[in-house]
């Protein structure tokens, strides 16, 4: 019996110590690729979130759930189920595209009073808040993201 409890204790110690062997991914930046749709009813913002996997072994990105706020008003939710393999010690990118109704987040009365040229020089403040679910070996990591970017309010 002592033999079996010794083996169980050994595996317990190995399992508990292995939990700290893996690090969270490192957030690097969000790059905005433009506003391909800019109309009275829809605005689309195309962007990428850039990360680095500091672990020596690869991991799998399983899910991304982000709430997107534009000028502190909720514009929408990105909910992506993925099975994307990420190499160890490697950069990886997650595309983040959001389409929203500008009436929800921008004071349209203000915009209508402005000349078109001044509207095109404005910026939007976009906040990405949410979680990324990754798995490394049999361990699951939830990485929380809370980042703000300024987006030029013009079509690219």
Q: What angle do CA 152, 149, 155 make, to 5 degrees?
A: 25
Edge-to-edge strand list for the sheet holding 73-86: 73-86, 59-70, 123-136, 139-152
Average model confidence (pLDDT) for the chain? 78
Q: What is the pLDDT of residue 124?
A: 76
Reading the block at residue 53, the tokens are 């996997």
pTM above 0.75?
A: no
Q: Check whether 18 has a pLDDT greater than 90.
A: no
* Dist CA 124 CA 72 (whole Å): 10
Q: What is the pLDDT of residue 100?
A: 82
Nearest partner of 125 among 147, 95, 93, judged by Cα: 147
Per-residue pLDDT band for 115 (boundaries 50, 70, 90) equals: very low
Per-residue pLDDT band for 50 (boundaries 50, 70, 90) equals: very high
Lowest mean pLDDT among 35-44, 105-114, 140-149: 105-114
Cβ neighbours of residue 93 closer than 8 Å, sequence gap 6 or more: 48, 49, 50, 51
* Dist CA 26 CA 38 (whole Å): 32
Task: Indicate the domain borders of the chain.
Answer: 23-152
DSSP class of residue 58?
A: -
Q: What's the average model confidence in pLDDT over 124-140?
A: 87
Q: What is the pLDDT of residue 117?
A: 40
Token pair 């990591």: residue: 141
Q: What is the pLDDT of residues 133-156, one digit of tens each?
A: 988 888 888 989 999 988 776 554
Q: What's the average model confidence in pLDDT over 16-23?
A: 60
Q: What is the pLDDT of residue 114?
A: 44
CATH superfamily of 23-152: Immunoglobulins (2.60.40.10)
Q: What is the pLDDT of residues 55-84, one digit of tens each?
A: 888 999 899 999 988 888 888 888 888 888
Cβ-in-10-Å burial (0-12, 13-18, 19+) of 24 comes to middle
* Dist CA 30 CA 46 (whole Å): 10
């Amino acid at each position: 019996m002592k033999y079996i409890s010794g083996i169980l204790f050994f595996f317990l110690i190995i399992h508990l110590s292995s939990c700290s062997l893996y690090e969270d991914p490192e957030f690097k930046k969000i790059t905005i690729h433009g506003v391909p749709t800019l109309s009275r009813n829809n605005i689309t913002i195309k962007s990428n979130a850039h990360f680095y996997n500091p672990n020596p072994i690869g991991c799998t990105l399983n899910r991304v759930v982000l709430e997107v706020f534009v000028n502190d008003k909720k514009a929408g939710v990105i909910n992506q189920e993925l099975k994307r393999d990420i190499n160890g010690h490697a950069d990886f990118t997650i595309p983040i595209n959001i389409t929203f109704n500008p009436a929800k987040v921008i004071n349209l009365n203000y915009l209508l009073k402005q000349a078109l040229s001044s509207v095109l020089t404005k910026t939007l403040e976009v906040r990405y808040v949410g979680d990324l679910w990754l798995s490394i070996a049999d361990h699951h990591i939830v990485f929380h993201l809370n980042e703000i970017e300024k987006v030029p309010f013009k079509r690219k």
